[in-house]
Amino acid sequence: MSSAIQVLNEAAIERYSRQLLLRELGEAGQLQLTQAQVAVVGCGGLGVPAALYLGAAGVGRLTLIDPDRVALDNLNRQVAYRTDEVGLAKAKVLTQRILELNPTVEVSARQESLDSQSMRDLLSRADVVLECSDDPVTKFLVNDFCVGEGIGLVVGGAVGLVGQVVTIPRGAACYRCLFVAPPASPGQTCREAGVLGPLVGMIGSLQALEAIKLISGIGRETGGRLLDFDAVTARWREVRFPLDPTCSAHQEGLGRQRP
């Protein structure tokens, strides 16, 4: 994290006053947010609420990564975009929405796909990465990179009426420890199975919350658990899982993590 900002000015104190009142956060935690860099992979149903809440909370630098453009069938759930913005680049429109909300943060729009070639350029400077795409292969690529580089990661997913979040602090059990590898045959996406807008809003907001906790140190260690939400019953289920010593992501990352 950058150490350039050491004291909050009067405008920042007023803007973040409700957060500063929190004993668990306070000025020290707010300064950590202000100095942090977060990358958001995917500016769709999960990435929109996640990025908006991170920008509003005062995360100093955000990188938004998505190659797609706004489509009419996005608008039931991707609530940062307007009907007259159909056809525009999602990353650029979402950048504008965040800056309208909080012009004190830095936001970089990267209208490109994330792959093994672009990963280091797009993610290496982040303190935390939010994986908000709907592609299982991308989730594993991002997981392996973040584990190897010692970058905190929050993975989200939602389809139909079910959503999931996995938070991966540095050195903790990871997405590959839990699922091992992408499925041999891709499961249904939102395009095939559908999804409700409020569900992705909940999951994306939880991803933002988990990122803020990783940056500021709020709460207990959140690694090694999957949070699964059933929208029909409105119930959460917690699944605990251990770090797998044979996990390839951890094996490849040995000796390469950040100090």
Report the catalytic residues: 190
Q: What's the rounded Cα separation, in Å, for the pair 203 and 223? A: 17
Q: Token match 């909370």: residue? A: 57
Q: What's the rounded Cα separation, in Å, for the pair 167 and 182? A: 18
- Cα-based angle 141, 55, 42 (whole degrees, multiple of 5): 30
**Number of CB atoms found within 10 A of residue 171's CB:** 14
Residue 136, token pair as written in the block: 């299982």
Q: Name the region of 29 (left: φ>0; alpha: ψ -120 to 50; beta: rest).
A: alpha
Contact 105, 57 (CB under 8 A): no
